[in-house]
Amino acid sequence: MKEHFFYKGRNNILDNKPSYDEKVFEVRKEFSKILDIRNLTFLMGSGCSMGEFGIPTMKKFADVFFDSSDEEIKKMSDNQKKLLLKDSHKKTLKENNIDYLKQPFRDNLETFLGTLYSLKFYLNQINNSSAVKEIEEVILQTKRFILYKCLNEENSEKDEAIINVYKNFYRKLSLRDSNLPKANIVTTNYDLYSEKTLDQLGITYTNGFSGFVERYFNPSIFNYALAEQMDISSFKWNIIDNFIYLFKIHGSVNWLEVEETTKLFNVKEVQDVNYDKLKEENNIMIYPSPIKQNSSLGSPYSDLFREFQKRITQNESVLVTMGYSFSDEHINNLIYQALTIPTFRLVIFSDLKFNSEDGNVNERENIKKLLDLNDPRIWIIGTNILELDKNEEDVSTPESDKKSNIESSDVESFEENTSVEKSEEDGSTSESEEHTTAVEIKNKEFGSGEDPLHFFGTISGNLMPDWSENQIEDKNQNIINLLNKNKTPKQSDND
Report the C-alpha gap between 10 and 384 in whole angstroms: 16
Task: Please enumerate in sequence order all residues whose Cβ is within 8 A of that of 230, keeping only pairs 6 or more positions apart, or say none.
Answer: 236, 237, 238, 425, 427
Instruction: For 140, list phi and psi in degrees, rounded to 5.
Output: -65, -40
Smallest CA-to-CA distance from 162 within 191, 204, 205, 202 is with 191
pLDDT digits (tens, 9 = 90+) for 249-280: 988 988 888 776 566 677 888 888 888 888 87
- Provide the 3-class DSSP secondary structure of residue 463: helix
33 DSSP assignment = H
Question: Helices marked H in 358-435 — which ranges?
Answer: 365-372, 408-421
DSSP 101-123: TSTTTTT-HHHHHHHHHHHHHHH
Other Cβ atoms closer than 10 A to 81: 12
Q: How far apart are CA 401 and CA 385, in angstroms?
A: 16
Residue 423 gets which letter from DSSP?
T
Q: Are 96 and 89 in contact (CB under 8 A)?
A: no
Radius of gyration of the chain (CA): 24
- What's the pLDDT score for residue 157? 81
Residue 92 to residue 27: CA distance in whole angstroms:
52
Query: What pLDDT score was predicted for residue 479?
Result: 60
The distance in angstroms from the start CA to the end CA of the chain is: 66
**Exposure pattern of 350-365 as b/e (b: 16+ CB <10 Å)?**
bbbebbeeeeeeeebe
What is the CB neighbour count within 10 angstroms for residue 380?
Answer: 25
In the three-class reduction of DSSP (H, G, I as helix; E, B as strand; rest coil), residue 224 is classed as coil
Contact status, residue 367 vs residue 326, Cβ threshold 8 Å: yes
Residue type, 307: E
Instruction: Tell me the percentage of the chain whose pLDDT exceeds 90.
Output: 42
CA distance readout (Å), 92 to 106, 128, 174, 181:
16, 14, 51, 53
d(CA 364, CA 368): 6
Q: How far apart are CA 409 and CA 163, in angstroms?
A: 15
**Could you tell me how many residues make up the chain?**
495
The helix (run of H) or strand (run of E) holding residue 3 is strand 2-8
pLDDT under 50: residue ranges of the chain: 290, 292-297, 389-448, 472, 492-493, 495
SS3 call for 206:
strand
Concatenating the DSSP letter of every residue in 230-279 gives: EETTTTEEEE-SSEEEEEETTEEEEEEE---TTSSS-EEE-SS--HHHHT
CA atoms within 13 A on the CB side of 71: 0
* Spatial CA neighbour of 7 closest among 368, 324, 260: 368
100 neighbors 93 (Cβ within 8 angstroms): yes
At residue 478, the pLDDT reads: 61
Is the distance from CB of 444 to CB of 27 less than 8 angstroms? Answer: no
**pTM of the predicted model, to two decimals?**
0.77
Q: Which tens digit of pLDDT belongs to each residue from 343-389?
A: 999 999 999 988 776 667 888 999 999 999 999 999 999 999 876 54
pLDDT at 128 (0 to 100): 94
How many angstroms separate the CA atoms of 341 and 314, rounded?
A: 9
Could you tell me which of 279, 236, 228, 281 has the C-alpha nearest to residue 259? 281
Question: How far is 365 from 107, CA to CA, in rounded Å?
Answer: 18
Angle at 411 between CA 409 and CA 415, to 5 degrees: 115
Q: What distance in Å separates the CA atoms of residue 193 and residue 50, rounded to the nearest whole number?
A: 11
Burial class, 293, CB count within 10 angstroms (exposed 0-12 / middle 13-18 / buried 19+): middle
What is the rounded CA–CA span in Å between residue 52 and residue 159?
Answer: 8
Please state the domain extents for the chain.
2-52+160-202+304-473, 58-151
